Amino acid sequence: MVDISMESDLTFLCLPTKVTDVGYTMGLTKGPATQVYSMKANFIGFRPGDRRVQTGRYSFAEGRKKTDPNGKRAFMPSESHTLEVEFKVAYKTTPKVVCAIDHVQRFLKLSVRARAWAENITPTGFRLRLATFDNSAMIQLGVSWLAHDSTDDTIRSGNFNCSDDLRDLRTEISGTATFDRPFPQRPRELFAAFSRFDVPPTKQLRISCETPLWTERDVQYKLRTWKDESAFCGLEGIYVALL
């Protein structure tokens, strides 16, 4: 959940720090000129030897270094970067991959429009896409990704796919995402995060990704905002469910 003033700079980063065998430090960071009313984050972790999953992270900064080693290129509207990810250990079958945005820094008074997704997924890797669109230009944009064995009975993942119309503002999108196959019982944990923002510059960045109920077959989701000065054109999210 993020609640940031539309009159301030917009910079936030959600990453855990000081990770050990017994825990971690919650990492919620804002820019010095960012006026934050409230921020909350969900984190999901696995032991290093867990063979079900592989994870990684990518950012605009890494993509820009490849095309501009001296760091002089301007930030462009509708900027897009692609990373060809190769798994450290190949899967026997095509895995599931989900991507979540964890770092946003936009230019003041521009729309917050960003999306992260995976494509061309194979047992050996996938193509990671990270992009802004239309009139949005980002100083920084980061994404965390998670891949897992699609045949494992203890984990499921997927997207909250929400159709949208950029001509209309809204305050809530809700629905039900069905797991690709049922669990034997209700999952113990469910992680959810945003994979796409589309908020105009005249509206507060006040958004929440909620999963109020889940069963062994599906999860109910609610992507929403609140109060009169807040609205969005589109939001999308991802989930990871664990027994």
Pick among 3.40.47.10, 2.40.240.10, 2.60.40.2080, 3.40.228.10: CATH of 2-242: 2.60.40.2080
pLDDT interval class at 163 (50, 70, 90): low
Please give the Cα distance from 218 to 211 (Å, whole number).
11
Query: Which residue's structure tokens are 């895995």?
Result: 95
The reported pLDDT for the residue numbered 2 is 41
CA dihedral 164, 166, 169, 172 (to 10 degrees): 20
**Under 8 Å between Cβ of 107 and 156:** no
- Per-residue pLDDT tens over the stretch 182-241: 999 999 999 998 898 888 877 777 778 889 999 999 999 998 887 666 788 888 999 999
pLDDT of residue 220: 96
**Given a cut of 80, is residue 100 above it in pLDDT?**
yes
Q: How far apart are CA 159 and CA 199, in angstroms?
A: 19
* Dist. CA 142–CA 56, nearest whole Å: 11
Per-residue pLDDT, 12: 46
pLDDT level of residue 141 (50, 70, 90 thresholds):
confident
The residue that leads in pLDDT, 10 or 202, is: 202
**pLDDT (0 to 100) of residue 7:** 47
